[in-house]
Amino acid sequence: MSKRINIGSGTEWERTVGYSRVVRVGNIIEVSGTVAVENGEVVARDNPYEQTRFILAKIADYIGRAGGHMDDIVRTRIYVTNMLDGEEVGKAHGEFFRDIRPVTSMVEVRALIEPEYLVEIEATAIIPE
């Protein structure tokens, strides 16, 4: 059986809810839903494009900590609170993934955990063997 590596961000939510920011098992890396928050503060309030850029940079960092690279990402799942923001979110996603081209979904949800969060993204990476 492959070794499991859990990587946390240190937030209280991880302990309370019982989850990890990132889990790597073998050559598969899963990144939990990620929002635009740093040191407890919302980043780029009211700007879905900048929130998406921040989130994807944060995901890149976590993928790296788990031993992968952005071009190992095979799937993203994007949750938006307003589908009218989809074009801006998609533009930012394209800047990161234009050449990588993972499969993706963009889904409008009624709300995220805080009203200032406009976008939440999950990612799956598979590291070549």
* Beta-bridge mates of residue 30: 23, 124
Residues of the chain with pLDDT under 50: none
- pLDDT confidence of residue 2: 83
CA separation for the pair 88, 46 (Å, rounded): 12
pLDDT tens for 94-125 read 999 999 999 999 999 999 999 999 999 999 99
Supply 37's token pair.
């928050």
Domain that holds residue 119: 4-126
102: CATH: 3.30.1330.40
pLDDT of 119: 98
Q: What SS3 state is found at 44?
A: coil
Q: In what order do the strands lie in the sheet with 119-126?
A: 4-7, 22-25, 28-34, 119-126, 73-80, 103-108
**Among the listed residues 41, 40, 47, the one whose alpha carbon sits nearest the alpha carbon of residue 82:** 47
Contacts (Cβ under 8 Å, ≥6 apart) of 16: none
Number of folded domains that form the chain = 1
What letter does residue 67 receive in the DSSP assignment? T
